[in-house]
Amino acid sequence: MAFDCDLFVIGGGSGGVRAARMAAATGARVQLAEESRMGGTCVIRGCVPKKLMVFASSFRELPSQARAYGWDIPEGHFDWLAFRARLHTELDRLEGVYRRLLDGSGVTIHDSRARLVDPHEVALADGRRISAKHILIATGGRPERPDLPGAELGLVSDDIFNFAKLPERLLIVGGGFIACEMACILQGLGVRVTQFHRGAQILRGFDDEARGLVAEAMRASGISLRVGTNIAAMGPKGSLDDGFAAPAAELQLDARRALSGALSGSGPCAVRSTTGELCEVDHVLFATGRRPNSDGLGLEEIGIGIGRRGQVEVNEYSQTAVPSVYAIGDVTDRVNLTPVAIREGMAFVETVFHARPTPVDHALIPAAVFTQPELGAVGMTEEEARDQGPIEVYATSFRPMRSAFAGSDARVLMKLIVCTETRRVLGCHIVAPEAGEMIQLAAIAVKMGATKEDFDRTCAVHPTMAEELVTMRNPVRR
């Protein structure tokens, strides 16, 4: 059978674009459809704009630190609109880069939604049908709101980059990556932030000692972090006053009106917590989870398995139950990180277009949480490692030179988890400014199977925070 192309990719995020380009480099005829902006979540409404906001928020402490070092620097004022304009200019530039990369690789782009109609054919929104030998689903994920009356009033992470003005008071609901990063960012930009998390501690899945230090630092910065707390009810201002309850239809209408004007600063919202507190904020940001973008793609109709959360079910080679269809990235809900989606895309190309079956390697993936301070981690937590067998824990917490000189009580953490029997470093955890940069390099050693003695043989770079990783000689506990 003659196909219109060798590969049709649905989704123009980092994973889909990389797979398309690398497949085209083999001489394959490749087409790609993206219904929104090229670059996907990471470039347009995730990693990139978030990290630029991290940079912006970090300057808040700079004047006071500079004065401690003898510089005569005033406090200054943050101009959200000036920053936002430059931010969107940069995102436009990056989207253009992605398009040029695809064009330069010979990939045909369709600015359209696409869905599968059979194992070898997709239909575009305009009715055109395109046949393909292979189809790759790379549609990513999306933020979701909780099932809560009045949740229509809340914002999600996609909305943060489009504020017409920064709110004065913001409630963030959630305790994961996005919730904690956004809390630190917006507090740093001058917003009064309250954060509710229903669990006992934020950043579930990370090392307990490390996430505890991050929580302490967030509270010290002024964030009102409340664990064991959730929203019991929410609505427009006045709707939750004692003795008053607006009719459900009226609440829904007010919610739609508020949401339509949310990004222009309208509000505020009334919130009652599960602890009984009633408060008013300008906005509520739900950072309570993301869901794979698998709806309406025609997958189940052709026999592709969809999991309980909407994830596309694949094997170790990213292949679905339909042999001609593969899926990578957040839509599979395996490890939802941009570099992982890119690596899954590369493994797909190796498997399909180079005839070298390459399973995806999801072991020892480093991660960074861009709170202030940052948290970087690779490998097992102390808690996970203890379940595997005897371990030694090497850890130190101290005031780093730069901020201590300026009078700050902020502390950092360097921690290694070591297998007693093999001496292999099972995990590395860092809480410190620039922890993301440090953990990237430490992850190389951990991935290679370095032992504690390999770390010990490495000469320290002095004076640095990271030198503690190679100077800790005695375990703090076993």
Domain end call among 257, 286, 315: 286
Tell me, yes or no, if 134 is annotated catalytic: no
138 and 10 share a domain?
A: yes
301: exposed, middle or buried (Cβ count in 10 Å: 0-12, 13-18, 19+): exposed
Of residues 317, 54, 265, 66, the one with CA closest to residue 180: 54
Give one word for 130, left, alpha or beta, with left for phi > 0 and alpha for psi -120 to 50.
beta
Residue 190 phi/psi, 5° resolution?
Answer: 105, 5
What does the pLDDT profile of the chain (478 residues) look like in tens digits?
Answer: 799 999 999 999 999 999 999 999 999 999 999 999 999 999 999 999 999 999 999 999 999 999 999 999 999 999 999 999 999 999 999 999 999 999 999 999 999 999 999 999 999 999 999 999 999 999 999 999 998 888 888 999 999 999 999 999 999 999 999 999 999 999 999 999 999 999 999 999 999 999 999 999 999 999 999 999 999 999 988 878 654 344 343 444 344 444 444 454 446 899 999 999 999 999 999 999 999 999 999 999 999 999 999 999 999 999 999 999 999 999 999 999 999 999 999 999 999 999 999 999 999 999 999 999 999 999 999 999 999 999 999 999 999 999 999 999 999 999 999 999 999 999 999 999 999 999 999 999 999 999 999 999 999 999 999 999 999 999 999 9
Residues forming beta bridges with residue 375, ordered by sequence position: 369, 431
Q: Residue 267 has which token pair?
A: 């509000």
What is the CB neighbour count within 10 angstroms for residue 119? 16
Catalytic residue among 134, 197, 283, 462: 462
Residue 206 falls inside a structural domain: yes
Q: Kindly state whether residues 29 and 100 are assigned to the same domain.
A: yes
Kindly tell me the sign of the dihedral angle through the C-alpha atoms of 8, 12, 18, 24.
Answer: positive
Please indicate, yes or no, whether residues 381 and 462 belong to a single structural domain of this protein.
Answer: yes
Q: Are 150 and 233 in contact (CB under 8 A)?
A: yes
Whether residue 296 sits in one domain with residue 378: no
**DSSP code of residue 147:** S
Check whether residue 192 and residue 212 sit in a common domain. yes
The verdict on residue 383 lying in a domain is yes
| Distance (Å, whole) CA 253 – CA 257 | 6
| Same domain as 322, residue 282 | no
pLDDT digits (tens, 9 = 90+) for 206-252: 999 999 999 999 999 999 999 999 999 999 888 786 543 443 434 44
The structure tokens 């371990």 sit at 391
Are 425 and 444 in a shared domain?
yes
Beta strand 374-379 with 283-286: parallel, antiparallel or unpaired?
Answer: unpaired
- Domain match, 125 and 164 both: no
Q: What is the CATH number of the domain that holds 434?
A: 3.30.390.30
Identify whether 184 is part of a domain: yes
269, 286, 303 - which closes a domain: 286
Give Cα 299 distance to the centre of its chain.
26
- State whether residue 277 is helix, strand or coil: coil
pLDDT tens profile 292-315: 999 999 999 999 999 999 999 999
- Cβ atoms within 10 A of the Cβ of 7, count? 26
pLDDT digits (tens, 9 = 90+) for 255-290: 444 444 445 444 689 999 999 999 999 999 999 999
33 in a structural domain: yes
Q: Same domain for 387 and 266?
A: no
Considering 299, 326, 353, which residue would you say is the last residue of a domain?
353
Q: Which range marks the domain in which residue 35 is found?
A: 5-142+291-353
Would you say residue 448 lies in a domain?
A: yes
How many CA atoms are closer than 13 Å to the CA of 255, on its beta-carbon side? 21
pTM, to two decimals: 0.93
Distance CA 370, CA 2 (A): 49
Q: Is residue 95 part of a domain?
A: yes
Find out whether 339 and 364 touch, Cβ atoms under 8 Å: no
H or E element, residue 468: helix 468-471
- Residue 246 gets which letter from DSSP? -
438 located within any domain:
yes
- Asked whether residue 478 is domain-assigned, the answer is no
Q: Are residues 83 and 54 in the same domain?
A: yes
What's the total number of domains in the chain? 3
Q: Do residues 34 and 122 share a domain?
A: yes
In angstroms, how far is CA 401 from the centroid of its own chain? 30
Report the CATH number at residue 186: 3.50.50.60
The answer on 282 and 314 residing in a single domain is: no
